[in-house]
Structure 1
Amino acid sequence: MTEVGERALAPSTIDISIVVPCYDRLNLLERTLQACLAQQVDAGISWEIVVADNHPARLAAPIVAAFNSQIPLHHVAAGDRNIAEARNLGVKAANGAFIAFVDDDEAPEPDWLMAHYRCLARTGADASFGAIYPIFEGGSPPAWDTQGRYYSTDFGLPDGTKIEPLKWFPPRPRGVSTANVMLKRSSCFPGEKPFDEAFGRTGGEDTLLLLRLAQAGRRFVWCADAHVIEFNEIGRLSFRYMCRRVQRSSRHSAEVRMAISSNKMATRISIYFIALSQLSVYGALWILRRKPAYVLQICKALGKLGFARLEFIPE
């Protein structure tokens, strides 16, 4: 393990850096690092792993130190419970021409890293996004979502399909995050702090950066073969938790849209129009059919209207 201080390493001296922001999920972090170190990488491709430790006690340091790895594995002291700061310091410490992010509760499949790398090389895009599939503590999805649909992210698009997160219509998958992504360093990380640290304690910092990049003309694509597996602990399995998560996420989305808008009045009106339409349609459907999916759509509408607390919850 290499301990990285505040001074940045020289950028782009290797091909790929995996950045793993973390706080206190130590058992899950160990699983994530094992999966990262098990990547099947083509000969001639140089790569490293950077663990951006966002806990004031630097809880990840002994976990990282315990790995006897031939792959460069760095521990970075990365602020104090501000996920944007952790991401910024992780990127600053990384050497790669390409930066892949994975969360500390996710385990990438063995071909994940090369799938992203090949997709970007083939398409010339600036960023590629992949699917997230769940596994559950206890072995089974919750009774209210027996297929794990609300714990999964899969756009179901052909490999290399362009993603346009700024377009509301036509309706198609467009919600982007850094939970499973690879980005070109030279075009995707403007300035010293690309992630807005004002969003660091509430979340939404990754979506804000990605939408700003889309505004600047950066090209995003879907990578159909880059999969990660997310572990969901018992506390995430209740319907109440998912309602809270969906409502909070919807408020994040609305606030990020406002942050990037050049016409805030028009943007606010459009957000409210969509929210009130959702309330009307799904409120009526809930009265008629009482399905959990309709409640979650109502929660999305309430989030757009600002009815959601933005304190930290495990996502």
Structure 2
Amino acid sequence: MTGPVLPPVTVDVLICTFRRPQVAETLRSVDAQRLPAGLGLRVVVMDNDGTGSGRVPVLTAARDMQIPVRYLRTGGGNISTARNALLDEAQSGWVAFLDDDEVASPHWLSSLWRCATATGADAVFGPVLSVYPPGTPDWIRQLDLHSSRPVRRAGVVETGIAGNVLLRCDDPRWSGERFDVGRGRTGGEDTEFFFRLHRLGARFEIADDADVHEPVSPDRLGFRWLARRRYRMGQSYAARASGRAERLRLGAGAAAKATACGGMTGLHALSRARRAAWALRAALHLGVVAGALSLPQRVSYGGDASGQDPDPGATTRPPAPARRGRGPDPG
């Protein structure tokens, strides 16, 4: 018995989910994509909760969708393990990653694809734009640090995040590369992964119009959460340094920048937004220092296979990057 006839090019949309019923809305936004002729989609959802909490919302949404959806389950609450299992399941030479709390605009995938074909890029990143709830402090809206926008450094895109990316995954130079399991509960696994692919020769581009939207939960609307996030982002950015000497240079430069940002924080003591902006920049640079020194990272995500939440005070030291991961259990 033969399967359905697929378009000439099919992109596998890969989504990890962990205890978020709103993954159903994410799936519906994928089903609503306006695609160019000859481009098709297939969705694979990996439930990262060993209890299978995502099964009902995923399969319920899939019943009303036009594009095929496959639900799989793995355990451990490690985002790298789940993403690696998704890569192992991919059947296409192109994959697109989305997070389970994001809603893609109708032109999301077509914009990523158009940029990839026009530029010959091996991966294209798009922006993740935050949707703030009523009552959000003005300074948070003004800074908009919850949103994630891909950036160029000296004209080059060196890395990005897995919340909005189209990736050519069949190039033999990096087809066997996988997300670092040691970073799968601390964060930054995607930043390090794309830094690694860039060093292997992958070329990246940005599609500013390939936007997805992510609601911000009330527990993230504070300076403390933002400071922790910026610090972790700094630790992740340190992955760009490939040797001891480079790490020391990066750490020394970041320490000087953190000191300068601390001084600017004091100079803007009367402005809530500017004071917060400089203090958060200082936190980012301090994170780079910590990453350059390979200090332990805070456990932020996931739980064990039984569904237990992580110890909020736990830390972990990332091991060497992984390659192929272990496959998932069928859902």
> Same-fold call, TM > 0.5?
yes
Secondary structure at the counterpart of residue 34 of structure 2: coil
* Shift in Å, 1:101: 0.5
More off after superposition, 187-196 vs 222-231: 187-196
Structure 2: stretches of 5+ with no match in the other structure:
1-6, 270-274, 303-331
Q: Give the letter for the 1:281 counterpart.
A: A
The structure 2 residue matched to 1:145, chosen from 100, 118, 140, is 140
Identity of aligned residues (%): 30
The answer to whether the Cα contact below 8 Å between 1:21 and 1:86 also exists between their aligned partners in 2 is: yes
Partner of 1:289: 268
**Partners of 2:172 and 2:214 in 1: CA distance:** 25
Residue 164 (1) aligns with residue 161 (2): no
Q: Give the letter for the 2:122 counterpart.
A: D
The answer to whether the Cα contact below 8 Å between 1:76 and 1:89 also exists between their aligned partners in 2 is: no
Runs of 4+ in 1 over 6 A off after TM superposition: none
* Shift in Å, 1:148: 4.9
Q: Give the letter for the 2:58 counterpart.
A: V
The structure 2 residue matched to 1:280, chosen from 246, 251, 259, is 259
Partner of 1:251: 235
Partner of 2:322: none
The structure 2 residue matched to 1:154, chosen from 130, 136, 149, is 149
Partner of 2:88: 92
Partner of 2:12: 17
Secondary structure at the counterpart of residue 163 of structure 1: coil
Secondary structure at the counterpart of residue 305 of structure 1: helix
Q: Give the letter for the 1:310 counterpart.
A: R
**Partners of 1:18 and 1:117 in 2: CA distance:** 13
More off after superposition, 143-152 vs 116-125: 143-152
Partner of 2:193: 209
Q: Give the letter for the 2:249 counterpart.
A: S
**Partners of 1:29 and 1:189 in 2: CA distance:** 33
More off after superposition, 116-125 vs 275-284: 275-284
Q: 1:239 to 1:308 in 2, by over 3 A?
A: farther
Residue 62 (1) aligns with residue 56 (2): yes
Residue 311 (1) aligns with residue 307 (2): no
The TM-score normalised by the length of structure 1 is: 0.83
The TM-score normalised by the length of structure 2 is: 0.79
**Partners of 1:185 and 1:286 in 2: CA distance:** 43
**Partners of 2:101 and 2:172 in 1: CA distance:** 24
Q: Give the letter for the 1:64 counterpart.
A: V
Whose RCO is larger (CA < 8 A, sep 6+)? Answer: 2
1:180-223 Cα distance to aligned partner (Å, 9 max, x none): 10001212883556112122122222112211111111110111
**Partners of 2:296 and 2:218 in 1: CA distance:** 22
Partner of 2:310: none
Partner of 1:117: 113
The structure 1 residue matched to 2:71, chosen from 75, 82, 89, is 75
* Shift in Å, 1:143: 2.9
Secondary structure at the counterpart of residue 50 of structure 2: coil
**Partners of 1:156 and 1:211 in 2: CA distance:** 13
* Shift in Å, 1:268: 2.3
Residue 52 (1) aligns with residue 36 (2): no
Q: Give the letter for the 1:269 counterpart.
A: L
**Partners of 1:203 and 1:237 in 2: CA distance:** 19
